[in-house]
Amino acid sequence: MATDRFHVDMPHKTLLLWLTHIKRMPTDKLDLLQGTLDLMVLQTLAGLGPQHGYGIARRIEQIGGGDILLNQGTIYAALVRLQQGGWISADWGTSDNNRRAKFYALTARGRKRLAADTANWRRTADVMDRILTAPGSQS
């Protein structure tokens, strides 16, 4: 993990490394599959109510424990993507430490997507589970 972060600081290769960090990651951390971050953010907002970027990141790391490698900077890309799609809304407000912060909240459309994505994810996980535990497969 340390080596990875070191590389990330070289400005012009960050994007490339972000896209390819799967290969460089230590094996004990879970890789964030494309799209899973969006789902996590939606679920976090559904659970906590309106929240700023740091709060969302903290919550995901807390629940994921040591199993998730989250580059917290990437969360803002997910937030703007969700906001542009109309799944969440954003508003400036004041945080606990009395600072100006942008608060994100789930919209009706976001709630619908969360339900759909959750069901979808459960089915995928279920299928994967069945395939991986089927007789004859090595495990």
Applying the rule CB under 8 A, the residues between 12 and 31 that interact with another protein are 12-16, 18
Sheet holding 51-52, edge to edge: 51-52, 100-106, 88-94
3-state secondary structure of 36: helix
Applying CB under 8 A, does 84 fall inside the site for another protein? Answer: yes
Closest to another protein by CB, 84 or 138: 84
Structure tokens at 22: 């799967």
The secondary structure element, H or E, covering residue 109 is helix 108-133
Applying CB under 8 A, does 97 fall inside the site for another protein? Answer: yes
Q: Phi and psi (nearest 5°) for 31?
A: -80, 140
Applying CB under 8 A, does 95 fall inside the site for another protein? Answer: yes
Q: Which stretch binds another protein (CB under 8 A): 26-34, 39-47, 94-102, 124-132?
A: 94-102
Applying CB under 8 A, does 39 fall inside the site for another protein? Answer: no
Applying CB under 8 A, does 139 fall inside the site for another protein? Answer: no
Min CB(19)–another protein separation in Å: 10
Q: How many other C-beta atoms are found inside a 10 Å radius of the C-beta of residue 37?
A: 21
Applying CB under 8 A, does 103 fall inside the site for another protein? Answer: no
Structure tokens at 15: 């994007």
Q: Phi and psi (nearest 5°) for 61?
A: -70, -40
Residues of this chain that interact with another protein (CB under 8 A) are 5, 8-9, 11-16, 18, 52-54, 57-58, 71-74, 76-78, 80-81, 83-87, 95, 97, 99-102, 109, 113
